[in-house]
Amino acid sequence: MGRAIDLSGAAVTAPNRPPSVDTLARSLRSSGLPHPICVDIAREAIEAGDVENASARADTFRRTLLTDVVNATGVLLHTNLGRAPLGHHQPAQAQTVEFDLSTGERGSRQTAVGQLFARLTGAEDAMIVNNNAAAVLLVLAALAEGRDVPVSRGESVEIGGSFRVPEVMEQSGCRLVDVGTTNRTRLSDYERAIARPGIDVAMVMKVHPSNYRVDGFIEETSIAELSTLNVPLMADIGSGLLDAKVPWLKGAPPTWLADEPAAVQAISDGAGIITFSGDKLLGGPQSGIIAGRADLVEQCKRHPLARALRPGGLVLRSLQDTALTYLDKRAAVDIAFWKMVDRSLDELDAAAERIRFAVIHDHDIDPALLMIEPSEALPGAGSAPGITMASRALVVDGDHLAALRSAPTPVIARTRDGRTSLDLRAIDPGHETVVVAALGAALAVS
């Protein structure tokens, strides 16, 4: 310790001085954070008198950044984990986002990907915006501003992120006209609304309920029925299933998709324009797809909001790759979501056995602590609400969620009835070693 002299001349002992901000910041380089961030963390630790925990503070900050994780929740399209997992790589070079190679002049950023989704859905034209909420807003603003839009009371819903159909319609400038009842709406309800004196109906809107369903004494009007009305029909099919026949999978379509609306069928049944998400059942990047009659899509392209809601080149290129994968009939092997769906129970059993064996032998864990049990996975993100698919899970007693999240690559699991469950269906085989390490470490300290 250093020594100092007080005013009386007596020797006193000075307290330890903290390290300089720069010295402490340089000691945090192993965190992988940029030096300016390390400087901020070092300064905060010194001011708080918490120098010894500076590394922990850096680790805490690092975990606030977007981080790769393993999804073991059993929710395949987990909204909090980015919905459809997607791998996309492209070179750092210019691309023809708004350039026409034929003429050498400016082109439309909607042409390349729009034509592919028109082909995929059977529509005359299509365009892309940054998510499905934006797609709904743009269609309503472009086609119905200042006019009336009948919607079934059973479809005037609120879905994730406080997306409320009445509020979106209000923001678009159109007027909501409630028709039918919460549980039963017939074609005649729409016909009466259209014929009502003083009503100026621009189009009828049908909304996929997304994350809830009504059972029992119910009746809804189909797209095919609504297409017989003398005004255009807009169908928000939400989850982005391209084709109800699911031709990219072998055999019959999965039973859990039985009531899920699909783009191909919505267009063939007469919808004038449809909207759906790119990052749900489609398995692509976050985006919203608008497809339908060429004149209606063109009005959307010309609306001022189209520029504000347009996606950038990264999303467009990724969505183009997704569309080409479907057209090449490679969705089952190249799109992560459909690979999860297509895994058999035998495959999941084998994966569970591999992980269990490795955890027990690599980490000297009592075999009785780790069990393999039947599980129920679900699509998630508002797709096929209430529907599950058979799966398998590794299950241990106690709550180990925090320990699994603290792994170098965090594993996100779930607890129920005092037990921790890791569902296998969303875990890529290439990530099994990550699960082994995280689960083994969690059990070793329990």
Q: Which of 170, 154, 164 is nearest to 133 (CA)?
A: 164
Which residues, other chains included, contact 47 with Cβ-Cβ below 8 Å and sequence gap of 6+?
none
Which domains, from first to last, does the chain contain?
19-65 (no CATH), 70-84+340-444 (3.90.1150.180), 99-333 (3.40.640.10)
CA angle 202, 203, 206 (to 5 degrees): 150
Residue 248, pLDDT score: 94
List, for residues 378-405, the tens digit of each pLDDT value: 988 777 667 889 999 999 999 999 999 9
User: Cα(379)–Cα(83) distance, rounded to whole angstroms?
Assistant: 10
Residue 240, pLDDT score: 86
Residue 3, pLDDT score: 41
Residue 5, pLDDT score: 36
Residues across the chain: 446
Rg (CA), the chain: 28
CB-facing half-sphere around the CA of 373: CA atoms within 13 A: 13
Residue 7, pLDDT score: 39
Residue stretches of the chain with pLDDT short of 50? 1-14
List, for residues 332-350, the tens digit of each pLDDT value: 999 999 999 999 999 999 9
User: Cα(290)–Cα(299) distance, rounded to whole angstroms?
Assistant: 12
Report phi then psi at 11, rounded to 5.
-80, 135
DSSP string covering 305-359, please? HHHHT---HHHHHHHHHHHHHHHTT-HHHHSHHHHHHT--HHHHHHHHHHHHHHH
